[in-house]
Amino acid sequence: MPRVIDLGITIGLLPPGPTGSVLDVPGTGLGHATVWRDEAPPPAGRGIARTGVTVLDPGGDLFAFPVPAGAAVLSGAGECTGLLTAQEWGLAETPVFLTSTMQLGRVYDAACELLIEEQPAIARDVIIPIVAECDDSFLNDTRRMQVDRGDVREALAAARASAGAPAAAEGAVGAGTGMSCLGYKGGIGTASRVLPGGATVGVLTLTNFGDGGRLAVAGVPVGRLLPRPERARAAPAGSCIVVVITDGPLDSAACQRMARRAGLGLARTGSTAHHGSGEIFLALATGLRAPRGRTPAGAPVTGRALDDYFAAVTEATEEAVINSLLQSVTVTGRDGNTSAQIPADAVRRLVTEYQPGADRDR
């Protein structure tokens, strides 16, 4: 399945990194555990499972060497544990775990247990794992807890093993398995940008938001031009989680400012932050990482020098959302509900016709 770059579509002005994903940020890993089951409805069985866990790991021991962090909330109809602590202290002390709404507690518990096993000092100075969610109940049966500790362990191990890999898995995988976005099958998407000064910004999205008629790709109103896929019923309002990571020397204040720009990228794809849609953003920066309790060495990027970071977040967020659509397959879940794969060839044709400078030879 193609990504944005494979279709000859250009989003923004900054160039992508080699993989066009969060894996372009040195040391960063991205892993998934997908839960896909077809059992009898509860109470006889666990029902239809279309869910999972995704982990973004900045690398290394985050308890001993936390990373500067900042957060922003565009619409608060969602949950992200550890967000308040990250905002208060300006640090992230755990990897970022993503899952579905009803599985958040299980993932949180498993994250605590797994991280304590790795770092005994956590028992003397507690952590609050960062766990964020979106509602996948359109495709996934939420009457049973579908995720267990083994799934969280698998996703965390996969994230750590993926650092430096040539490509990142996207679409209907991990936490994105049951998500729907802008009228089509959504899920996991990622993109990156390389700044003129050499720093890299990567963006991870868990997409589960929006109306199909508002879908825009590189400024083209694709949602109004494509035939609308049929659905048995309307999907819930959903949400979107955006995680930004950079190797640039940013402090927590700059991370918070950078996180806010993720909302600009979502808006460019068609988000209006519905009443029931939680848009929650987190930004991490590894360039000023320091031992726990110590002051980082070096000066942070400030003021107008942050403008390239802001542009990178906006562009990469937009591209990551579209990648989540292009990389997803059609998924049928509970009660026969279906989220259809977006027609990539039709998207390419429309953008080629409407976007100046698009690749017309592909």
Taking all residues of the chain, what is their mean pLDDT, rounded to a whole number?
95
The answer to whether residue 142 is domain-embedded is yes
CA distances from residue 41 to 48, 100, 104, 142, 254 in whole angstroms, order as listed:
7, 19, 22, 11, 48
The answer to whether residue 360 is domain-embedded is no
The answer to whether residue 278 is domain-embedded is yes
Q: What is the pLDDT of residues 143-187, one digit of tens each?
A: 999 999 999 999 999 999 999 999 999 999 999 999 999 999 999
Q: What is the mean pLDDT of residues 42-67?
A: 97
- At residue 361 the predicted structure's pLDDT band, cuts being 50, 70 and 90, is very low
Which neighbouring-strand residues pair with 281? 72, 242
Tell me: pLDDT of 125 over 80.
yes
Q: Give CA–CA dist 67/72, Å, rounded.
A: 17
The answer to whether residue 287 is domain-embedded is yes
In the prediction, which pLDDT does 325 show?
98
The answer to whether residue 245 is domain-embedded is yes
Tell me: pLDDT of 234 over 70.
no
3-state secondary structure (DSSP) of residue 52: strand
In the prediction, which pLDDT does 123 show?
83
In the prediction, which pLDDT does 247 show?
98
Q: What is the mean pLDDT of residues 250-268?
A: 98
Share of the chain above pLDDT 90, in %: 93
Tell me: pLDDT of 131 over 60.
yes
Write down the catalytic residue from 21, 180, 271, 277.
277
324 noted as active-site residue? no
Per-residue three-class SS string for the chain: CCCCHHHCCCCCCCCCCCCCCHHHCCCCEEEEEEEEEECCCCCCCCCEEEEEEEEEECCCCCCCCCEEEEEEEEECCCCEECHHHHHHHCEECCCEEEEEHHHHHHHHHHHHHHHHHHCHHHHCCCCCCEEEEECCCCCCCCCCCCCCHHHHHHHHHHHHHHCCCCCCCCECCHHHCCCEECCEECCEEEEEEECCCCCEEEEEEEEEECCHHHCCECCECHHHHCCCCCCCCCCCCEEEEEEEEECCCCCHHHHHHHHHCHHHHHHHHCCCCCCCCEEEEEEEECCCCCCCCCCCCCCCCCHHHHHHHHHHHHHHHHHHHHHHHHCCCCEECHHHCEECCCCHHHHHHHHHHHCCCCCCCC
Q: Give CA–CA dist 306/88, Å, rounded.
A: 22
Tell me: pLDDT of 194 over 60.
yes
Overall number of domains in the chain: 1
Q: What is the pLDDT of residues 244-256, one digit of tens each?
A: 999 999 999 999 9
What are phi and psi for residue 149, nearest 5 degrees?
A: -55, -40
239 noted as active-site residue? yes
CA distances from residue 112 to 29, 94, 129, 133, 157 in whole angstroms, order as listed:
19, 9, 7, 17, 15
Tell me: pLDDT of 236 over 90.
no
**Model confidence, pTM:** 0.96
Q: What is the mean pLDDT of residues 348-354?
A: 94
Instruction: Return the CATH number at 25.
Output: 3.60.70.12
Tell me: pLDDT of 360 over 90.
no
Tell me: pLDDT of 340 over 90.
yes
Contact 65, 290 (CB under 8 A): yes
The answer to whether residue 46 is domain-embedded is yes
In the prediction, which pLDDT does 17 show?
98
Q: Give CA–CA dist 112/213, Å, rounded.
A: 41
Boundaries of domain holding 294: 5-354
Write down the catalytic residue from 133, 170, 279, 318.
279
The answer to whether residue 168 is domain-embedded is yes
Tell me: pLDDT of 55 over 70.
yes
In the prediction, which pLDDT does 354 show?
87
Write down the catalytic residue from 21, 137, 180, 239.
239
279 noted as active-site residue? yes
Q: Give CA–CA dist 40/102, Å, rounded.
A: 19
The answer to whether residue 362 is domain-embedded is no
In the prediction, which pLDDT does 238 show?
79
